[in-house]
Amino acid sequence: MERLSELQPIFIDTLPENAALEPGKIYISRKHNVAKLLCPDGCGTVSVLDFGREGWKLTESDGKIMIHPSILETACPNRAHYYVTFNRIQWL
């Protein structure tokens, strides 16, 4: 599978089970300050992002999300590293 260039945010209170995650979608629970997605390089790793006080910052406008700082998925065999800016994935 190729690296993705875009993520579609899905705002949902309760995150889906890992087996129900679809590639190209990031599931975001504002209620629990957490997000989950399949690693966008296609490796199948499930990434969990904590937006708590010490975690990533999520901003949203018009359904487009930005996440800072960059995301480095250390469980990914390719060590995927990227920014999400207005739903676009910028690979590092």
- Residue 48's contacts (CB-CB under 8 Å, 6 or more residues apart) are 34, 35, 36
- Nearest distance from residue 72's CB to Zn ion, in Å? 11
CB closer to Zn ion out of 2 and 13: 2
The token pair that represents 89 in the structure block: 């994935």
Q: Where on the chain is the footprint of Zn ion (CB under 5 A)?
A: 39, 41, 43, 45, 76, 80
CB closer to Zn ion out of 2 and 62: 2
- Nearest distance from residue 26's CB to Zn ion, in Å? 14
- Nearest distance from residue 88's CB to Zn ion, in Å? 18
CA dist 25 → 19, 41, 53, 89 (Å): 13, 12, 24, 12
Q: Which of 14, 65, 13, 23 is nearest to 44 (CA)?
A: 23
CB closer to Zn ion out of 36 and 41: 41
